[in-house]
Structure 1
Amino acid sequence: MTDPKDRLLDAALPHVPFDGWSPATFKAAMADSEMDPIVARAVCPRGAVDLAVAFHHRGDEKMLEALKAEDLSALRFRDRIARAVRLRLEVIEDKEAVRRGTTLFALPPYAPDGAKLVWGTCDKIWDALGDTSTDYNWYTKRATLSGVYSATVIFWLGDTSEGHEATWAFLDRRIDNVMQIEKIKAQVQKSPTLSKLFAGPNWVLSQIKAPTKFPKGDFPGSWTAPRD
């Protein structure tokens, strides 16, 4: 049986280019999917906003499936990151839905949702590529990639070049910028003088730990029924 939210999302997408992720789109989705409004509101309490979130999550899942089918072993790590970001955009079938979503999540009430979605995408990319960092680097990697990803999406939305070649060139330049920062960080760590100079800040950073990722159903506040 199709998930109710998936049914609503599929029904909503044809309306998004015209009405955005709006109450009108949600109402049309309920009608087209012939779903009871009570059920629809139960799975999407915020209406079309929740469908926009589901649309983004669907893109993340498609990206992960595409990444699993790729052989990235011969690529440099910076190229693996670029490839993952490119795949995330290539799996999108409805560019206008993304444009409308970008507009929605730029609004103050939904900006936290937008930031969370971008961070989640970048977290999934790093996890898929085998990131094992457990210190402050866990945060800096995802924060940096979030900036690269966000800028690339905005550029991609306005890109009319064949095959989005201009976007991929833009992405490569942003990755190169990040790698330059990483080189500077490495030089600081290797320099005895600079290491002493930054001893205090480095100690503070060393106390920062990555969040623990609990298995599904095993996290604070959750409850799992006892087994017989």
Structure 2
Amino acid sequence: MTIARVAVTVDLVVLTVREQQLSALVWWRDRSPYAESWSLPGGFVQLDEDLPVAAHRLMAERAGLADVRVHLEQLATYGYPDRDPRQRVVSVAYLGLAPDLPASTRAQVMWRPVADLTEKGRIAFDHRRILLDGVERARAKLEYSPLAAAFCPPEFTVAELRRVYEIVWGHPLDPRNFHRKVTGAQGFLVPTGRTTTRDGGRPARLYRRGDAESLHPPMMRPTW
């Protein structure tokens, strides 16, 4: 019996909101396989490291985001036989979310709008599928968890939080109804006692994320 040699990689779906668009960090490949196409930042797991350790290492080495606070969670595992033409590779994907992340320090790595990548961009391997899975995870988690605050600065207004929901979900939301829901969700938002005029108009209250792990009641995506 032949024992197959299987390599393990970590691929990163890193999302942020830039210029009012949901954007993903991607790597421009200049060599085969899939030369002149985009791929997700990632790399092989070393023999002496755990998967979360590998994910944080690759955030620095491949994504170019060292010392940047990012919400990072395991997304899914991809292991069908023909996903990499070079060898048998199993990939563990991680989803990273943070507000207005900076440009990468790596020349080959840049932010691209998710819509451009998923609709018309040339993407290597099965990374389009992984990216779509990551976007759907983010959209779904906005319904029942306070994850939307991961796209916001430490202190934010309800209007800024609403724009995160609108950009990630791709739907406009009624401002008054949204305000009532998020301020009524137990432990979601905590008033700071401060205000800001950065949204324009009258001073708006600033909030920070509370200690809730899930939203009660949940925020439901529009169905239209």
Do these two structures clear the TM 0.5 threshold for a shared fold by scoring above it? no
Which is richer in helix? 1
TM-score by length of 2: 0.29
Q: Indicate the structure whose relative CO is greater, using CA pairs within 8 Å and at least 6 residues apart.
A: 2
Determine which structure has more spread, i.e. the larger CA radius of gyration: 1
TM-score by length of 1: 0.28
